[in-house]
Amino acid sequence: MEATLCRNLDLKPSRCSPLSTKLKKPTSRPCHSQRFSCLYRRRSDSWRPLIMPCAWYKPKSEEQHLGCQELLGSLGKGFFGFAAAAAALVSVCCDSPALAESLTVAFPVSRAQEVNTVQRTLVEAWGLIRETFIDPTFNHQDWDSKLQQTMVEMFPLRSADVAYTKISGMLSTLGDPFTRIISPKEYQSFRIGSDGNLQGVGIFINAEPRTGHLVVLSCVDGSPAARAGIHEGEELIEINGERLDGLNSEAAAQKLRGSAGTAVTVKLQSIKDSGGDSSIREVKLPREYIKLSPISSAIIPHRAADGRLTKTGYVRLSAFSQSAAADMENAIHEMESQDVQAYILDLRNNPGGLVKAGLDVAQIWLDGDETLVNTIDRDGNMSPINMFNGHALTHDPLVVLVNEGSASASEILAGALHDNGRAILVGHKTFGKGKIQSVTELRDGSALFVTVAKYLSPALHDIDQVGITPDVQCTTDMLNSPKDFLLKDKSSVSSLEADSCIMVAEHELDIQQSKGTAS
C-alpha cells in the first residue's frame, strides 16, 4: 500500500497585516499541515521585497478540521539511511483537532527564486514543529524568534542546498536527532524504498547518534555488499573518494544508490577485537536491482528433550515495511499446513519502520482486546492502542529473538507479545528507541520528520534510551551447557540450527511444550 501523504483541504488563510511581527501562541495543537500565503511589497527597485507568510489557517467549515499526518516509528538506531532498504509509514488521522490562532511574521525574501522557495518551505516546517513537536519548550528556546533569525540568515544565499542546510541547522537546535528535513530528491529516494525495490548495493546504514559516524547495520542477503563481505559494525568513511564527515545517513545512502549497471567505490574501517586496532579497506561495488522482502522463513526439524522429533517454524522479520504483516500471515499459514508445533520470530537487527506494520504483526499472534502499546503526547497525555476482537492465527508456543539492533517498531512488537504473555524474549537487550515521528511532504516536495510522541510497552515500561531486557540471554557460554539436547552435530545441521540463540529458543520452546501450555 502506497503511503498516503497529508494534504490540506481547501483552507482559507487568515488575514495578514503587512509588517506585523506579533506572534500568537496556538491555543492547542491542530493536526493539519500548514500552508501560507505571501505578500510582496517593494517601494522601489532599490528596496528588498518582504514576504509576510500566514503560517496558520482556519478551515471554512467544521468538516474541514480533520487532517492527516504520517507517523513512523523512526527507522531504528539514529537515522537509518537505507542504501537498499525500506523505511515505511503508517497513516494516523487526528480526531477533530482544535485550531490555532493566526499569526503574521515579516522577513526579507531572497531574490534567488530557489532560495525563496526554501524560505517558504521553512515557514511550513516551522509551523508543523510549533504545533506537534514533543517538547513544547522547543529545547528551552524561543522558536518563533528562531524563524526570524533563520530567515535573515537565508536572505543572502544563492543555493537551495545551502538554504536547506540552514533549515537543518535550525532543527538541530531542538536537541532531537530524529527531527529533520530531507530535500525533494532525498525524499523521492526515501519513498522508492517503501516499495521494497531499489537500485543500489544493499547496505543498511546507521548514523550513531553520539558520534555521527556512519556504520553498517547489515547487508541484504545476496546483495553486492553481502557478496563483498561487508559486515555489521564496519564504519563507512568514504564514497567515491568523498569523505563522509558530518553527512547524515540518508545523504550517504543517496550516494550509494544509483542505476543498475553502474558501480560505486566505498572505503570502510573495521575495528579489530584485540587491542582496538583498526583496518581500512576499499571495495568497488556494482549497483543492482535490490528486491527487499521483509520476511524469510524456514522449518527447523527439532528433537525435543524427550526424543520426539518436532517441527519449529522460523520466521525472520528484517524490517516493518508495508507488506510485512501480509507476508507474515502467508508464511504462518504455509507452516501451519505443514504441522509446525512451535515458532521462533527473529527480530534481531530489525531497525524498525512502520509503526502500523508492527501493530498489525502483533495482532497475528494475539487474541481479544489486548493493549499493544501506549503513546504519550507532548502534553503528557497517555493513550493506549488496543486490539479489537483479535483472533490469532496460531496459539503454538512462541519465542521472539531480539538484540541491540532491534529498535523502534521491533521493540513495540516485542513488548506487545511479551507483556501480553504471548512470547518469551531471548537474546540481548534491545536498542531503546521509544519515539514516534511524523513525516509530512511539504509543498516543494521535501519532507519534514518530527518527533511527536513517545511510547511505553503495554505494561508501561519505558523503552526510550532504556530498551527491553529479554527473559533469557543467549551467549556462547550457553553452548557449554551440560544439557546435551542443546548441543548438535554442527556438521549435519544448517546455519540456523547452529545459531546459539536459536538453540536457546528451542530449549525454551521445549520447556513450554513439556508443561503442556502455549504462551
Catalytic positions are: 408, 433
Does residue 271 contact residue 215 with C-beta atoms inside 8 Å? no
Q: What contacts 142, CB < 8 A, 6 or more positions away?
A: none
With beta carbons less than 8 A apart as the criterion, state whether 418 and 55 touch: no
Q: Any idea what the Cα angle at residue 484 is, between residues 478 and 488, rounded to 5°?
A: 85
Q: Is the dihedral of CA 494, 499, 504, 505 positive or negative?
A: negative
- Please calculate the CA angle 166-444-36 and round it to the nearest 5 degrees: 85
439: cell is 513525516
Question: Nearest 5°: CA angle at 412, between 88 and 456?
Answer: 125
**Which residues does 188 contact at the CB level (< 8 Å), separation at least 6?**
445
Please give the order of strands across the beta sheet that includes 40-41: 40-41, 50-51, 107-108
Cell 499446513 appears where?
A: 337
Looking at residue 462, the DSSP 8-state letter turns out to be: B
Q: Cell 513450554, residue? A: 512
Query: 399, 424 in Cβ contact below 8 A?
Result: yes
Task: Tell me the three state secondary structure of residue 356.
Answer: helix
Which DSSP string do the residues of 285-326 spell out, in sequence order?
Answer: EE-EEEE--SEEEEEEEEE-TTS-EEEEEEEEE--B-TTHHH
% helix, strand, coil for the chain, step of 5:
25, 30, 45
The partner residues of 167 in beta bridges, in order of sequence, read none
Cell output for 432:
531503546
- Give the 3-state secondary structure of 40-109: EECCCCCCCCEECCECCEEECCHHHHCCEEEEEECCCCCEEEECCCCCCCEEEECCCCCCCCCCECCEEC
Q: Which among 355, 335, 352 has a CA at the least distance from the CA of 343?
A: 335
Q: How far apart are CA 385 and CA 383, in angstroms?
A: 7
Angle (CA) 359 364 369, round 5°: 70
CB-neighbour burial class of residue 327 (10 A; exposed 0-12, middle 13-18, buried 19+): buried
Cell numbers given for 280: 581500512
